[in-house]
Amino acid sequence: MTSKDLAKKISNLILSKKGYDIKIMDIKKISSIADYFVICSADSDIQVKAIADEIDDKLRDEGIKNYHIEGYDSLNWVLIDYFDVVVNIFKIGTRNYYNLEKLWSDAPTVTVEDKPA
């Protein structure tokens, strides 16, 4: 599976848990951190946790394990690192505060519609 395919798959998993305002940012030409950021919003701690668990569980079932998870204790911003794809699940206020889209504004970005890609 390519990193682009993984980013799309993660986006679909986010949609399955009603995550919204999903962006896939192609950062491979501007950073060595990863190939893609997947960013989404959620309305509550419970929804942030549900999205993070869904991504981790479903990908693990396919043999894709994360390298690292951060923020799972506070659930304001959960980051899941899959090496080439880094997932950022935000509660809306935290997303607005950190504004990763502005920070990485040089990256080509795709907005994921509310239907599976």
CATH number assigned to the domain comprising residue 35: 3.30.460.10
Structural domain contains residue 117 = no
The confidence score (pLDDT) of residue 101 equals 86
Examine the pLDDT at 115 and tell me if it is beyond 90.
no
20: its two tokens: 């919204």
Q: State the pairing for strand pair 36-42/85-91.
A: parallel
Q: How many domains does the chain have?
A: 1
38-68 pLDDT, tens digit each: 999 999 999 999 999 999 999 999 999 999 9
Binning pLDDT at 50, 70 and 90, where does residue 71 land?
very high
Between CA 34 and CA 113 the distance in angstroms is 23
**Strand (E) or helix (H) holding 91:** strand 85-91
**The model's pTM:** 0.92
Owning domain of residue 82: 3-112
Tell me what the pLDDT averaged over the chain comes to: 93
- Domain assignment present for 14: yes
Q: Give the C-alpha separation, 26 to 28, whole Å.
A: 6
Cα–Cα distance, 13 to 80 (Å, whole number): 13
